[in-house]
């Protein structure tokens, strides 16, 4: 109990000390709110076209302007938050399960388990990662599930390695030895002793890779492998708006791009902040 | 001093001082106004139109670096721009053509040479025609469209005389000899580079020129750049004005527009419709738009299976499409509308022409009720992702509009590589697509798009014996010069296609081209590629 | 040293085999039949079957794989259907373009990020530290294609400061005689100042796009490493003995902090080679990344396989080079391995 309290105190200290992290935290709350409440508070139907109001510049009526089909960009940007956040969270959760668990297993058991997991991680690392993600989505079809899967796969080595080295260090620790001597099975030790102890470190990774997941999905959208139209999604909106930039309609790509950047920015800063909380010595 | 002016002046100075430039291909040593810089989205993948999988840009290389025996004449379109004339066949490599009852005889021009200096003989012509009908794939298919099918048809009479023996009477034979496919190859050069596995030297001609056209390729960087130099010994027509043509691939549409607007590039076809609309209005560049002959963007419905087998449902869809919205917000007026005629009965027999449907949701709902599906159904609408710029917004508007009559549509993006494959399977319920034929005859269009032979272009799998009969009648009447019979048949099948609406024409696209003000001599061709030979720069 | 290299290569072999197998399976799972795509617009079933036979895609997967591997063993990477050229030749001509861009990008990063990191480390917690952190994080938060488009829009289209984004060289210049394939080096060797300047101008925007994306890891690593060194005893001693602060930082601290930065540099390099894909697309750069994307979209197997294999080999070579460099800089590493 007291460790929790001190961690909280430490967190408050870090937030107070580091205004940037506090800012990121505020941004995060905003993003989560947009994801939860977005669809019910936006001024326009994000899917409804209105060709008589197409390509209008930002105004009091349309804060972020309208796109080619007269859809309200502000509404689309806000509504897209949920999907983008979902892609990020789902892919990170998936890689946490796949990479985290197999990494822990590799670190704890060593031997052939370690060899297999590390060979898989090395193989993935040897791929140009974006092209691997592209290939997976192109081969399996462009749907939200496959974008999530592809993003998870390319992040696998990162998680597996971090989890492995952390598990490896703890394997010989006294409290693990004690648990083993008191007759606990390996599976039980991994799940109850090792995993809970390395979760904080993986959570830092998760925050950092959330940003990467969003960028990855946006990159896939840019080359045409994104979600199904007319679903609003930041990356696809930037990609479609890019064509209008030269003719002066900068707002179509700019605002979704800004949202994309802010979200990734927020996750990255948050990841840094979390790292400070979890492991003050590693602060960079 | 602007950069280009600077280049020009240094070019003049260096040309004066050291006449032979260090790099003969160095363009900065050549006058800018004899060099054309064309930009496009895609690059040619071959110099040879016969090659397996040769893409459309490859047709452009072939068209400018090879000659055909005959070519098409020119006319002015309603806007006063040059337009090839599909009724006028003129000599190119041949100096004349004699049409007999069962054969056509060509006399080759005296002194005609290939790029390597070898004289062009009838042997080369025969070898080239033999190749086109033998290698299979697209060239063989296109030759067949003019009843040019067997090597035995092609006869060398003497060095300068070549004869085609006719298998049957076909009014497409002569027009087909002037399309890009029967290009004339340097047979000796090709044979030298042929192997046992590759008797027609297809590997060689893919990356090397073997023709005698007005231009020869001097630099070939697949995917990036093609540079041509003029062939000064060309006999196929008046010597072209441009000495040099540089063709660069610029994948991003925004960059292509920026290059044109800033005067860095000279000419391009590949811009979004909206850009063409704005460039035309700004008047800084010359923009020429020509309706693409015999081409239509349409919504196709699967008549073999699913809800669209019911003609009432198809008509309901035809009344529910947001035609005008598509014209305004998707193609920015860069097309001719094909909807909203007073009824579905044609008055003339030209093609394409307007049908009688227009957006009328009440009528569409009534038709849905009559069809027994008042509450609609779910289906999917597929499009080619390679053409997403037009197709995606179009499909979103169609999706929104069909929702009003209860048809819930999910949009299905099909990657370009897979599109043809999906079309061949013929199981997509609802698609949008463009189809156009090279040869500008209604029966040619209908033969591919509506005939029960069920070609890949009959994307709706439409089969109707009455339709087939009308199409066949028109072909026979055409071949026998039976004007009245021909017109009756054409009118018959157009009317039927409107009443039965297996596909709903939306618009006839324009082929737009934007170029610098000083460029003259642009000519529209049915193959929709650039012909450098008539272009000039002021 | 040689046993180190040998061991590392042995370790890399299973990964490379894995890459070959996975790439093969992945490309075969791509939708679409290249035969249908290349059979032309009016293809009949029979025409497609002919092309399928020509391409060998009508055989069972295992036979195709066998053929692929035996071709690979002979150094044969196959032909690209979209550009019509042999993949080996394509990669050989395009790799220098990608490498030149990436290396210039990397140089830019070092020029920008290392001073930023040092500055931040000398004043931890100050506004300069926060600004460094925000700028570098913002850079890595921007999608590269968006940065690229924005830069083109502002510097080419609006301000007219940079040349048109048409690839490696202004259209009216021709490439320098081919020696290394790096235009800057080739132009310098040919003593062609005009081409050199033109090539450099074309490089700036795409390289800057890459650099912005890669600021964060280098700046952070420099900062962390400098922080650690600055608190070390020998630096304190140097300061105590009255050496000027800038001399301490540059000669004593930075030299000792450079090792982890070099490791990060290696990681960033392989990372940038991947990020290239989208940058090349925006800037019409004739590199291998844009080539691979086009091929993937067209279900054109051979270039995708060739590209992935090349990148994997580069990755292995790069890691080896880092290990060797590490050993040369810090002899202790050599002993412990």
Per-residue pLDDT tens digits for A51-106 = 888 888 899 999 999 998 999 999 999 999 999 999 999 999 999 889 888 998 89
Considering only alpha carbons, which residue of chain B is nearest residue A48?
B400
Considering only alpha carbons, which residue of chain C is nearest residue B226?
C171
Q: Cβ of A127 and C145 within 8 Å? A: no
- Smallest CA–CA distance, residue A180 to chain C, in Å, is 33
Cβ-Cβ pairs closer than 8 A, A with C, add up to 147
Give the count of alpha carbons within 13 A of B43, CB side only: 26
Residue C161 has pLDDT above 80, yes or no: yes
Residue A23 has pLDDT above 60, yes or no: yes
Does residue C291 belong to the interface with chain B, where contact is any CB pair within 8 Å?
A: yes
Distance CA B292, CA B41 (A): 19
Residue A219 has pLDDT above 80, yes or no: yes
C59: Cα separation from own chain's centroid: 36
pLDDT of residue A192: 79
Residues of A in Cβ contact (< 8 Å) with B398? none
Enumerate residue ranges in chain B where pLDDT < 50.
1-29
Residues of A in Cβ contact (< 8 Å) with B410? 228
Q: What is the largest distance, in Å, between two alpha-carbon atoms of chain C? A: 87
Ranges assigned E (strand) in B262-392: 267-268, 286-291, 295-301, 335-337, 377-384
Distance CA C37, CA C298 (A): 8
Window from A3-12, A114-123, B248-257, C230-239 with minimum mean pLDDT: A3-12
pTM (predicted TM-score): 0.84
Considering only alpha carbons, which residue of chain A is nearest residue B396?
A230
Task: Indicate the residue of B254, B329, B385 with minimum beta-carbon distance to A68.
Answer: B329
Q: Which of A117, A126, A219 to mutate to test the interface with C (most CBs of C within 10 A)?
A: A126
- CATH number assigned to the domain comprising residue A198: 1.10.3720.10
Question: What are the structural domains of chain C?
Answer: 87-336 (1.10.3720.10)
Does residue A122 belong to the interface with chain C, where contact is any CB pair within 8 Å?
A: yes
pLDDT of residue B9: 38
Task: Indicate the residue of C40, C50, C291 with minimum beta-carbon distance to B223.
Answer: C291
Distance CA B213, CA B112 (A): 10
Task: Indicate the residue of A54, A138, A243 with minimum beta-carbon distance to B272.
Answer: A243
Task: Indicate the residue of A54, A229, A246 with minimum beta-carbon distance to B392.
Answer: A229
pLDDT of residue B501: 95
Residues sharing a CB contact under 8 Å with residue A166, sequence separation 6 or more, in sequence order: A104, A107, A197, A198, A201
Residues of C in Cβ contact (< 8 Å) with A247? none
The C-alpha angle C245, C246, C247, rounded to 5 degrees, equals 90
Q: Cβ of B424 and C298 within 8 Å? A: no
Contacts 24+ apart (CB under 8 A), B154-157: B154/B125, B154/B126, B154/B129, B154/B130, B155/B126, B156/B122, B156/B123, B156/B125, B156/B126, B157/B105, B157/B122
Contacts 24+ apart (CB under 8 A), B331-334: B331/B273, B331/B390, B331/B507, B331/B509, B332/B273, B332/B274, B332/B276, B332/B277, B333/B273, B333/B277, B334/B273, B334/B276, B334/B277, B334/B289, B334/B509, B334/B510, B334/B512
Q: What are the beta bridge partners of residue B503?
A: B300
Distance CA A206, CA A199 (A): 10
The C-alpha angle C96, B246, B274, rounded to 5 degrees, equals 100
Residues sharing a CB contact under 8 Å with residue B464, sequence separation 6 or more, in sequence order: B450, B452, B496, B500
pLDDT of residue C316: 83
For residue C172, what pLDDT band results from cuts at 50, 70 and 90? low
Q: Are B367 and B319 in contact (CB under 8 A)?
A: yes
pLDDT of residue B24: 37
A95-142 pLDDT, tens per residue? 988 988 899 889 888 889 998 998 899 889 888 888 889 889 988 888
**Pairing mode, if any, of strands B286-291 and B503-515?**
antiparallel
Parent domain of A120: 2-282
Q: Cβ of C286 and B206 within 8 Å? A: no
Q: Are B232 and B216 in contact (CB under 8 A)?
A: no
Residues of C in Cβ contact (< 8 Å) with B55? 82
**For residue C189, with 0-12 CB atoms within 10 Å meaning exposed, 13-18 middle and 19 or more buried, which class applies?**
middle
Q: Which of B139, B265, B417, B516 to mutate to test the interface with C (most CBs of C within 10 A)?
A: B417
Q: What are the beta bridge partners of residue B335?
A: B509
Q: Cβ of C51 and B420 within 8 Å? A: no
Does residue B90 belong to the interface with chain C, where contact is any CB pair within 8 Å?
A: no
For residue C104, what pLDDT band results from cuts at 50, 70 and 90? very high
Task: Give the other-Cβ count within 10 Å of A177's Cβ.
Answer: 12
Residue C91 has pLDDT above 70, yes or no: yes
Residues of C in Cβ contact (< 8 Å) with B252? 165, 281-282, 284
Distance CA B86, CA B309 (A): 37
**For residue A66, with 0-12 CB atoms within 10 Å meaning exposed, 13-18 middle and 19 or more buried, which class applies?**
buried
Q: Which residue has the higher pLDDT, C88 or A172?
A: C88
Q: Cβ of B396 and A138 within 8 Å? A: no
Q: What are the beta bridge partners of residue B523?
A: B82
Does residue A135 belong to the interface with chain C, where contact is any CB pair within 8 Å?
A: yes
Q: Are A265 and A211 in contact (CB under 8 A)?
A: yes
Find the mean pLDDT for residues A154-182: 83
The C-alpha angle B273, B277, B281, rounded to 5 degrees, equals 165
Scan for tokens 């049908």, then name that residue.
Answer: B355
Residues of A in Cβ contact (< 8 Å) with C130? 19-20
- Smallest CA–CA distance, residue B29 to chain C, in Å, is 9
Considering only alpha carbons, which residue of chain B is nearest residue A230?
B396
Does residue C213 belong to the interface with chain B, where contact is any CB pair within 8 Å?
A: no
Provide the chain C residues 139-198 that lie in CB contact (below 8 A) with chain B. 149, 152-153, 156-157, 160, 164-167, 171-174, 194
Does residue B309 belong to the interface with chain C, where contact is any CB pair within 8 Å?
A: no
Distance CA B447, CA B457 (A): 9
Residues of C in Cβ contact (< 8 Å) with B26? 173-174
**Of the ranges A178-187, B150-159, C184-193, C323-332, which is most confident?**
B150-159
Local structure of B79: helix, strand or coil: coil
- Smallest CA–CA distance, residue A246 to chain B, in Å, is 5
Residue C242, by phi and psi: left (phi above 0), alpha (psi -120 to 50) or beta?
A: left
Report how many domains make up chain A. Answer: 1
Residues sharing a CB contact under 8 Å with residue C180, sequence separation 6 or more, in sequence order: C96, C186
pLDDT of residue A279: 62
Find the mean pLDDT for residues C111-135: 87
B498 DSSP 8-state letter = H
Residues sharing a CB contact under 8 Å with residue C116, sequence separation 6 or more, in sequence order: C132, C135, C136, C215, C219, C222
Q: Which of A52, A55, A226, A230 to mutate to test the interface with B (most CBs of B within 10 A)?
A: A230
Provide the chain A residues 219-248 that lie in CB contact (below 8 A) with chain C. 219, 222-224, 235, 238-239, 242, 245-246
- Smallest CA–CA distance, residue C96 to chain B, in Å, is 15
Q: Cβ of A246 and B272 within 8 Å? A: no
CA-closest candidate to residue C203, choices C96, C293, C93, C311: C96
CA-closest candidate to residue A219, choices C295, C140, C278, B387: C278
Find the mean pLDDT for residues C215-241: 82
pLDDT of residue B17: 32
Distance CA B241, CA B266 (A): 15
Q: Are C145 and B252 in contact (CB under 8 A)?
A: no
Considering only alpha carbons, which residue of chain A is nearest residue C318?
A126
Residue C217 has pLDDT above 90, yes or no: no
Does residue A120 belong to the interface with chain C, where contact is any CB pair within 8 Å?
A: yes
Q: Which residue has the higher pLDDT, A268 or B300?
A: B300
Cβ-Cβ pairs closer than 8 A, B with C, add up to 149
Residue C120 has pLDDT above 60, yes or no: yes
pLDDT of residue B30: 52
**For residue C3, with 0-12 CB atoms within 10 Å meaning exposed, 13-18 middle and 19 or more buried, which class applies?**
exposed
Q: Are B226 and B220 in contact (CB under 8 A)?
A: yes
Distance CA A220, CA B28 (A): 40
pLDDT of residue C40: 65
Does residue C299 belong to the interface with chain B, where contact is any CB pair within 8 Å?
A: yes
Residues of B in Cβ contact (< 8 Å) with A48? 400
Find the mean pLDDT for residues C210-234: 85
Residues of A in Cβ contact (< 8 Å) with B400? 47-49
C270-280 pLDDT, tens per residue? 778 777 888 88
Q: What are the beta bridge partners of residue C270?
A: none
Residues of B in Cβ contact (< 8 Å) with C167? 224-225, 248
Q: Are C92 and C198 in contact (CB under 8 A)?
A: no
pLDDT of residue C333: 52
Does residue A139 belong to the interface with chain B, where contact is any CB pair within 8 Å?
A: no
Percentages helix, strand, coil for chain B, rounded to the nearest 5? 35, 25, 40
Does residue A231 belong to the interface with chain B, where contact is any CB pair within 8 Å?
A: no
For residue A1, what pLDDT band results from cuts at 50, 70 and 90? very low
Q: Cβ of A265 and C138 within 8 Å? A: yes
Provide the chain A residues 157-216 that lie in CB contact (below 8 A) with chain C. 211, 215
**Pairing mode, if any, of strands B430-436 and B377-384?**
parallel
H or E stretch at B507: strand B503-515
CA-closest candidate to residue A91, choices A210, A193, A175, A180: A210
C299-330 pLDDT, tens per residue? 788 888 899 888 888 888 888 887 777 777 66
For residue A194, what pLDDT band results from cuts at 50, 70 and 90? confident
Window from A190-204, B367-381, C141-155 with minimum mean pLDDT: A190-204
Length of chain C: 337
Task: Give the other-Cβ count within 10 Å of B308's Cβ.
Answer: 22
């Amino acid at each position: 109990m007291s460790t929790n309290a001190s961690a909280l105190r430490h967190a408050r200290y870090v937030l107070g000390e580091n205004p940037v992290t506090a800012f990121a935290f505020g941004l995060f709350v905003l993003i989560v709110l947009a994801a939860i409440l977005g669809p019910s508070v936006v001024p326009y139907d994000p899917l409804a076209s209105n060709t008589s109001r197409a390509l209008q510049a930002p105004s009091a009526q349309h804060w972020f302007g309208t796109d080619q089909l007269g859809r309200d960009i502000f509404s689309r940007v806000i509504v897209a938050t949920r999907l983008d956040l979902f892609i990020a969270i789902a892919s990170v959760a998936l890689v946490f399960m796949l990479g985290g668990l197999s990494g822990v297993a590799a670190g704890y058991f060593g031997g052939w388990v370690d060899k297999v997991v590390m060979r898989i991680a090395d193989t993935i690392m040897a791929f140009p990662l974006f092209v691997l993600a592209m290939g997976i989505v192109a081969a399996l079809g462009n749907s939200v599930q496959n974008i999530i899967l592809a993003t998870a796969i390319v992040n696998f080595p990162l998680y597996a390695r971090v989890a492995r080295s952390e598990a490896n260090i703890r394997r010989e620790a006294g409290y693990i030895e004690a648990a083993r001597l008191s007759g606990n099975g390996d599976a039980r030790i991994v799940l109850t002793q090792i995993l809970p102890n390395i979760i904080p470190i993986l959570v830092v990774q998760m925050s950092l890779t959330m940003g990467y997941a969003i960028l990855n999905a946006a990159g896939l959208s840019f080359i045409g492998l994104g979600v199904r139209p007319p679903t609003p999604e930041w990356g696809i909106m930037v990609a479609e708006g890019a064509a209008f930039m030269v003719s002066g309609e900068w707002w179509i790509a700019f605002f979704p791009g800004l949202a994309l950047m802010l979200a990734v920015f927020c996750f990255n800063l948050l990841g840094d902040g979390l790292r400070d909380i979890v492991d003050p010595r590693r602060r960079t | 001093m602007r950069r280009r002016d600077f280049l020009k002046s240094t070019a003049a100075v260096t040309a004066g001082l050291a006449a032979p430039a260090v790099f003969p291909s160095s363009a900065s040593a050549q006058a800018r106004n004899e060099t054309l810089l064309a930009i496009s989205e895609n690059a040619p993948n071959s110099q040879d139109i016969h090659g397996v999988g040769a893409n459309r840009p490859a047709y452009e290389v072939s068209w400018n670096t090879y000659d055909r025996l005959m070519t098409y004449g020119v006319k002015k379109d309603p806007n006063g721009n040059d337009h090839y004339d599909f009724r006028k066949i003129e000599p190119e490599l041949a100096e004349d053509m004699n049409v007999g009852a069962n054969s056509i005889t060509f006399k080759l021009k005296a002194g005609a040479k290939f790029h390597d200096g070898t004289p062009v003989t009838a042997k080369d012509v025969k070898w080239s025609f033999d190749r086109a009908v033998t290698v299979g794939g697209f060239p063989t298919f296109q030759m067949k469209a003019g009843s040019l099918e067997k090597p035995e048809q092609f006869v060398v009479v003497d060095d300068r005389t070549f004869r085609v023996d006719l298998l049957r009477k076909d009014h497409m034979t002569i027009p087909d000899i002037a399309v890009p496919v029967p290009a004339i190859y340097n047979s000796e050069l090709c044979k030298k580079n042929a192997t046992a596995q590759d008797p027609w030297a297809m590997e060689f001609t893919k990356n090397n020129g073997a023709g005698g056209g007005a231009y020869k390729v001097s630099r070939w960087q697949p995917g990036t750049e093609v540079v041509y130099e003029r062939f000064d010994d060309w006999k196929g027509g008046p010597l072209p004005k441009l000495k040099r043509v540089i063709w660069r691939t610029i994948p991003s549409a925004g960059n292509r527009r920026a290059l044109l607007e800033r005067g860095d590039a000279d000419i391009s076809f590949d811009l979004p419709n909206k850009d063409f609309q704005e460039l035309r209005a700004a008047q800084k560049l010359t923009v020429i738009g020509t309706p693409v002959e015999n081409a239509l963007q349409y919504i196709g419905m699967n008549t073999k299976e699913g809800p669209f087998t019911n003609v009432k449902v198809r008509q309901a869809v035809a009344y529910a499409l947001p035609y005008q919205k598509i014209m305004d917000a998707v193609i920015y007026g860069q097309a001719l509308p094909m909807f909203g005629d007073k009824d579905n009965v044609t008055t003339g027999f030209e093609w394409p022409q307007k049908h009688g449907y227009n957006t009328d949701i009440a009528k569409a709902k009534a038709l849905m009720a009559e069809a027994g599906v008042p509450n609609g159904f779910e289906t999917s609408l597929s499009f080619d992702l390679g053409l997403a710029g037009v197709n995606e917004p179009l499909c979103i508007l169609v999706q929104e509009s069909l929702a009003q009559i209860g048809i819930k549509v999910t949009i299905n993006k099909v990657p370009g590589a897979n599109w043809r494959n999906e079309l061949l399977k013929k199981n997509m319920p609802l698609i949008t697509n463009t189809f156009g034929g090279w040869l500008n005859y209604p029966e040619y269009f209908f033969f591919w798009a509506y005939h029960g032979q069920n070609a890949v272009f009959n994307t709706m799998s439409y089969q109707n014996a009455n339709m087939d009969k009308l199409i066949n009648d028109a072909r026979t009447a055409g071949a026998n010069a039976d004007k009245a019979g021909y017109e009756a048949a054409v009118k018959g099948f157009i009317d039927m296609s409107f009443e039965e609406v297996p596909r709903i024409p939306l618009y006839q696209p324009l082929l737009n081209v934007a170029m610098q003000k000083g460029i003259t001599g642009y000519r529209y061709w049915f193959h929709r590629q650039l012909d450098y030979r008539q272009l000039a720069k002021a | 040293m040689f046993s180190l290299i040998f061991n590392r290569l042995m370790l890399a072999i299973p990964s490379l085999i894995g890459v070959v197998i996975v790439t093969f399976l992945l490309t075969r799972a791509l939708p679409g039949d290249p035969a249908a795509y290349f059979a032309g617009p009016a293809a009949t079933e029979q025409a497609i079957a002919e092309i399928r036979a020509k391409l060998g895609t009508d055989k069972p997967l295992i036979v195709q794989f066998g053929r692929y591997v035996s071709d690979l063993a002979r150094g044969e990477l196959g032909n690209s259907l979209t550009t019509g050229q042999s993949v080996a030749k394509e990669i050989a001509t395009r790799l220098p373009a990608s490498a030149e861009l990436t290396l210039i990008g990397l140089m830019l990063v070092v020029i920008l990020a290392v001073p930023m990191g040092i500055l931040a480390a000398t004043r931890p917690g100050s506004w300069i530290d926060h600004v460094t952190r925000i700028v570098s994080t913002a850079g890595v938060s921007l999608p590269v294609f968006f940065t690229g488009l924005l830069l083109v829009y502002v510097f080419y289209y609006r301000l007219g400061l940079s040349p048109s984004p048409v690839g490696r060289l202004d259209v009216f210049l021709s490439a320098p005689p081919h020696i290394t394939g790096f235009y800057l080096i080739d132009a310098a060797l040919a003593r062609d100042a005009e081409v050199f300047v033109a090539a450099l101008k074309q490089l700036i925007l795409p390289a800057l796009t890459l650099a912005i994306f890669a600021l964060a890891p280098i700046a952070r690593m420099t900062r962390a490493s400098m922080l650690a060194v600055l608190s070390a005893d020998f630096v304190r001693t140097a300061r105590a003995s009255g050496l000027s602060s800038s001399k301490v930082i540059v000669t004593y601290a930075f030299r000792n902090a450079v090792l982890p930065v070099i490791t990060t540099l290696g990681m960033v390099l392989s990372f940038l080679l991947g990020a290239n894909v989208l940058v090349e697309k925006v800037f019409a750069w004739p590199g291998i990344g844009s080539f691979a994307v086009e091929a993937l979209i067209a279900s054109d197997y051979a270039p995708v396989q060739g590209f992935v294999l090349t990148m994997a080999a580069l990755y292995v070579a790069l890691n080896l080079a880092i290990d060797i460099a590490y050993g040369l800089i810090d002899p202790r590493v050599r002993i412990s391995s």
